Chains A and B, each alone.
Chain A
Amino acid sequence: MLPGRILLAGLRRSASAASSVAQSPKNMCYWDRVIWSSRYFHSASDNTFSEGGSKAKELPDPFALIKDEVSEVTDRLRSMVVAEIPELTSAAGYFFRAGAEGKRTCPTVLLLMASAISTDMSDPIVGLENKPRARHVRVAEITEMIHISSLIHDDVLDNADTRRGMDSLNFTVGKKLAVLAGDFLLFRAFSAAVALDNTEVVSLLATAVNNLVTGELMQLTITPAQRCSMDYYLQKTYYKTAALISNSCKAVAVLSGQTTEVQALAYQYGRHLGIAYQLIDDILDFTGTSASLGKASFSDINQGIVTAPILFAMEEFPQLREIVEQGFDDPSSNVDVVCIESVPFSFFLVLKYLQKSQGIERTRLLAAEHAKLAAVAIDDLPPSEDPVVLSSRQALKDLTQKFLRRTK
């Protein structure tokens, strides 16, 4: 690992855009490692950058450009959530502090999408002086705020103690202030959306917010029958994970004044990307960092949430369906459930069936299917000669593959 890091560090120093965010390899979250590695893939062959040129490889790496913009997004977010009361400011800005930003997938995807659909040939190098670009950056900020707001509320709902490797907000300041901070962020985001002065964009974002809540509600009010339904699960997954990114991608297209076809393609990309992401997430909840079962958090199953691998396994083993229905109805009411070290026996049974079945593999296939559809959406975009556009599109396609291959 060490020689690789030195190579990457050298590449970073020679890259044109120096990142202002201090990042030591130790603190690097998963996504930043992806960025580094893909920068490696892209500019491995040459260290020199040439102006113009028709091949995407020879241009400044779009990830590097995006990375700076993404960092500035986080910086600006910190100033956008200033409230009158210091407690509220610090609660709302909790996840925008340096080191707490997480993967920042949302802003990255959105900014890449903005570049990918851009038809403005007169301004090949993106920068914040460019006004249309500024509006796209706004969408990225708004989306990130909505995303964080939903994370904060999710943690309150799930009583989670940790998030992104640190204490959750509700653990730090209490449930009530966390709920209030989430509300505050949501409406700050909404105000910013309104300032864009585009009613369709505001509508899309409001729909996304509505979908997020609907997804949570679907989870909370789930009946035993719905728990075993793949359709219900996929719908819920769309609402909870994909709706925000898909609607935001579409919003970016709308802001760019693109045709409805392009808007739809942007939407499709976000939708398939989001679903693929969640499916892999579900697998990782079982497999963790290794390919075999048993070295992971199992947080879904512990909360009684039935995900795609189990659903697929249930198709192969009907007995599993019974166990699931029994065991997850109301964990606290199963007084005569046999427990091994305070873990219900049914838990082990479920894992056993899962291991025997093709559940994990079929989920992976489904994720790959969605990733492919996302890439297809990019390919269907109107052709362009602009190198930045092309490299952004390539980056978006690479993203789908990265998501499939991630291990944590």
Chain B
Amino acid sequence: MSWRWALARRVAKLAATDGGGGAQAQRLLPTSSAAAGTGLLGRLHMPLASQIRSKVVGCRGAALVSSRWLHDAQYQVRQDGASRAQEQQDPFELVADELSLLANRLRSMVAAEVPKLASAAEYFFKVGAEGKRFRPTVLLLMASALKFPLSESTEGGVLSILADKLRTRQQNIAEITEMIHVASLLHDDVLDDADTRRGVSSLNLIMGNKLSVLAGDFLLSRACVALAALGNTEVVSLMATAVEHLVTGETMQISTSREQRRSMEYYLQKTYYKTASLISNSCKAVAILAGHTAEVSMLAYEYGRNLGLAFQLIDDVLDFTGTSASLGKGSLSDIRHGIITAPMLYAIEEFPQLQEVVDRGFDNPANIEIALDYLRKSRGIERTKELAREHADRAVKAIESLPDSDDEDVLTSRRALIDITERVITRTK
């Protein structure tokens, strides 16, 4: 239960470092304007850390607690006179407005240039299929989390304009990342019998093979143009590497040999390439655009990498368990496609006989049942969850190692990033 203590520790630290036992109220609004704002509602007295510890039932609990006292804060005297809406401390909400902006921009760009691809545009920042919004949210939060402090006196001045420009460029990274991601989905779907991807009808089926290949090409070429426009060779290099990794990962998946299928190392490498590389390289790109040092950029990279890996590992578990806690209620699409994931690999370590079952292939549904049986008996699911937890913890550590900052936006965003790692681990679909 280390994460709860980490969260509580963090909250307590904030309470302690601020003189007088109070803490700045957190800015809960989307930080679409780059200039650092003043405190939201003045100083509040935060519940003692011990109270939080006893009340904490999950990160949602912490959110409830904070929203409860913020609700009380409505009646506090407002410092700067600005009135702002109350929002729950949902990390996705923090950047929701900004995200809609980007989504609309991308959708209208696609719709304007190639109307026939308008259905492809639906894939961008798709809400609902929960997996899809993580990426851009993480990137925008990372951009906020890495902001250099601006002093109050420069508000509206040159530095603030530069900060806006930087924000736009970082938004472009989010857009580019999304374009690359959707393009890879489209190309991965080619000739797969993937008729649904995360509950959304595969574009391939709707548009036909040709158009989906072309749509992917279109997106990749627009990403190239956008990358070139950023004019930063290191960033372009990073994103090009990410694309290469995506391609390599997919190739690894379709051309896995028997020996490789047994190897946890191979599997983790493939997982890194397919899932984590894009987000980790984009996080690093965001840091580089902001002009951070190599160390800080690496921390951003580490966050992305560990988050991505944790995400995929939980994904693998959910493919077996689905929304119920019990095994076999998931879609089982991995195993049906002959893709051996972490839980199964762990199970094979415990039960070598399972290897034979796996080698027989899973065209026969009876074989799937046998494999699931072994999996049930083994600690495969648990060990996978533990590994995911480990990666989530490393991601949190990366955020905590970032250079200190007093800026509220920065702190809120960092908290949100930590919150996200939690959600990744505890999600049920």
**Shortest CB distance A297–B (Å):** 21
Is B247 at the interface (CB under 8 A from chain A)? yes
- A195–B236 alpha-carbon span in the complex (Å): 10
Residues in chain A near residue B217, CB distance under 8 A: 153, 182, 213, 216
Is B387 at the interface (CB under 8 A from chain A)? no
CB–CB A184/B221 < 8 A: no
- A207–B117 alpha-carbon span in the complex (Å): 20
Is B251 at the interface (CB under 8 A from chain A)? yes
Given A153, A199, A210, which contacts B222 in the complex, CB threshold below 8 Å?
A210
Give the residues from 226 to 243 in chain B that come closer than 8 angstroms, CB to CB, to chain A. Answer: 227-229, 231, 233, 236-237, 240-241, 243
Given A175, A202, A214, which contacts B190 in the complex, CB threshold below 8 Å?
A175
Is A217 at the interface (CB under 8 A from chain B)? yes
Is B254 at the interface (CB under 8 A from chain A)? yes
Given B183, B214, B241, which contacts A217 in the complex, CB threshold below 8 Å?
B214
**Shortest CB distance A61–B (Å):** 37
CB–CB B240/A157 < 8 A: no
CB–CB A213/B251 < 8 A: no
Report if A203-B228 is in contact (Cβ < 8 Å); known contacts: A85-B255, A177-B254: yes
Is A212 at the interface (CB under 8 A from chain B)? yes
CB–CB B220/A175 < 8 A: no
Give the residues from 249 to 263 in chain B that come closer than 8 angstroms, CB to CB, to chain A. Answer: 250-252, 254-255
- A187–B246 alpha-carbon span in the complex (Å): 11
Report if A87-B190 is in contact (Cβ < 8 Å); known contacts: A186-B220, A199-B231: no
Is B192 at the interface (CB under 8 A from chain A)? yes
Is B191 at the interface (CB under 8 A from chain A)? yes
CB–CB B236/A213 < 8 A: no
Of all chain A residues, the one with the shortest Cβ separation from B113 is A214
- A289–B240 alpha-carbon span in the complex (Å): 43
Report if A221-B114 is in contact (Cβ < 8 Å); known contacts: A84-B248, A157-B213, A216-B217: yes
Give the residues from 107 to 160 in chain B that come closer than 8 angstroms, CB to CB, to chain A. Answer: 113-117
Report if A207-B225 is in contact (Cβ < 8 Å); known contacts: A87-B255, A183-B187, A199-B231: yes
- A186–B216 alpha-carbon span in the complex (Å): 13
CB–CB A88/B227 < 8 A: no
Is A260 at the interface (CB under 8 A from chain B)? no
Is A11 at the interface (CB under 8 A from chain B)? no
Is B224 at the interface (CB under 8 A from chain A)? yes
**Shortest CB distance B197–A (Å):** 15
Is A174 at the interface (CB under 8 A from chain B)? yes
Is B56 at the interface (CB under 8 A from chain A)? no
CB–CB A190/B192 < 8 A: no
Is B88 at the interface (CB under 8 A from chain A)? no
**Shortest CB distance B83–A (Å):** 45
CB–CB A180/B251 < 8 A: yes
CB–CB B236/A210 < 8 A: no
Most buried by A among B116, B228, B231, B240: B228
Give the residues from 71 to 120 in chain A that come closer than 8 angstroms, CB to CB, to chain B. Answer: 83-85, 87-88
CB–CB A217/B248 < 8 A: no
Is A22 at the interface (CB under 8 A from chain B)? no
- A70–B90 alpha-carbon span in the complex (Å): 58
Is B244 at the interface (CB under 8 A from chain A)? yes
CB–CB A197/B233 < 8 A: yes
Give the residues from 147 to 184 in chain B that come closer than 8 angstroms, CB to CB, to chain A. Answer: 183
Residues in chain B near residue A183, CB distance under 8 A: 183, 187, 216, 220, 243, 247
Most buried by A among B218, B221, B243: B221
Residues in chain A near residue B236, CB distance under 8 A: 190-191, 194, 202
Given A179, A203, A214, which contacts B213 in the complex, CB threshold below 8 Å?
A179
Which secondary structure dominates where chain A touches chain B?
A: helix
Residues in chain B near residue A182, CB distance under 8 A: 217
**Shortest CB distance B269–A (Å):** 9
Most buried by A among B192, B244, B252: B244
Most buried by B among A85, A175, A195, A197: A85
- A141–B247 alpha-carbon span in the complex (Å): 21
Residues in chain B near residue A180, CB distance under 8 A: 187, 247, 250-251
Q: Mark A168-198, 1 if CB is under 8 A from B, else 0.
A: 0000001111011011101110110011010
- A264–B68 alpha-carbon span in the complex (Å): 66
The number of chain A residues with a CB under 8 A from chain B is 40
Of all chain A residues, the one with the shortest Cβ separation from B246 is A183
Is B210 at the interface (CB under 8 A from chain A)? yes
- A157–B183 alpha-carbon span in the complex (Å): 16
**Shortest CB distance B187–A (Å):** 5
Given B214, B233, B251, which contacts A85 in the complex, CB threshold below 8 Å?
B251
Report if A179-B187 is in contact (Cβ < 8 Å); known contacts: A85-B255, A88-B251, A194-B237: yes
Is A156 at the interface (CB under 8 A from chain B)? yes
**Shortest CB distance B228–A (Å):** 4
CB–CB A206/B213 < 8 A: no
- A177–B192 alpha-carbon span in the complex (Å): 12
- A58–B233 alpha-carbon span in the complex (Å): 44
Residues in chain B near residue A184, CB distance under 8 A: 244, 247-248
Is B185 at the interface (CB under 8 A from chain A)? no
**Shortest CB distance A160–B (Å):** 12
CB–CB B214/A216 < 8 A: yes
Given A84, A175, A190, A217, which contacts B191 in the complex, CB threshold below 8 Å?
A175
Of all chain B residues, the one with the shortest Cβ separation from A184 is B247
Residues in chain A near residue B113, CB distance under 8 A: 214
Report if A202-B228 is in contact (Cβ < 8 Å); known contacts: A190-B240, A194-B233: yes
Is B211 at the interface (CB under 8 A from chain A)? yes
- A210–B225 alpha-carbon span in the complex (Å): 7
Of all chain B residues, the one with the shortest Cβ separation from A212 is B221
Give the residues from 364 to 381 in chain A that come closer than 8 angstroms, CB to CB, to chain B. Answer: none
Is B24 at the interface (CB under 8 A from chain A)? no
Q: Mark B188-211, 1 if CB is under 8 A from A, else 0.
A: 001110000000000000000111
Is A209 at the interface (CB under 8 A from chain B)? yes
Is A166 at the interface (CB under 8 A from chain B)? no
**Shortest CB distance A158–B (Å):** 9
**Shortest CB distance A135–B (Å):** 15
CB–CB A206/B228 < 8 A: yes
Residues in chain A near residue B254, CB distance under 8 A: 176-177
Residues in chain A near residue B255, CB distance under 8 A: 85, 87, 177
CB–CB A217/B114 < 8 A: yes
Residues in chain B near residue A206, CB distance under 8 A: 221, 224-225, 227-228
**Shortest CB distance B113–A (Å):** 8
Residues in chain B near residue A214, CB distance under 8 A: 113, 218
- A220–B251 alpha-carbon span in the complex (Å): 27
Of all chain B residues, the one with the shortest Cβ separation from A183 is B247
- A157–B208 alpha-carbon span in the complex (Å): 11
- A156–B228 alpha-carbon span in the complex (Å): 27
Given B211, B227, B240, which contacts A220 in the complex, CB threshold below 8 Å?
B211
Given A83, A84, A221, which contacts B116 in the complex, CB threshold below 8 Å?
A221
Some 28 contacts from A to B, beta carbons below 8 A apart, are A83-B244, A88-B247, A157-B210, A157-B214, A176-B187, A177-B251, A177-B255, A180-B187, A180-B247, A183-B187, A183-B220, A186-B220, A187-B247, A190-B224, A195-B233, A199-B228, A203-B225, A203-B229, A206-B221, A210-B221, A210-B222, A210-B224, A212-B221, A213-B218, A214-B218, A217-B117, A217-B214, A220-B211
Seed contacts A85-B248, A206-B225; 15 additional CB < 8 Å A-B pairs? A85-B252, A87-B251, A176-B254, A179-B190, A179-B216, A180-B250, A180-B251, A194-B237, A202-B236, A203-B228, A206-B227, A210-B222, A217-B114, A220-B116, A221-B116
Which 4 A-B residue pairs are closest in the complex by CB-CB distance?
A206-B228, A206-B224, A191-B240, A210-B221
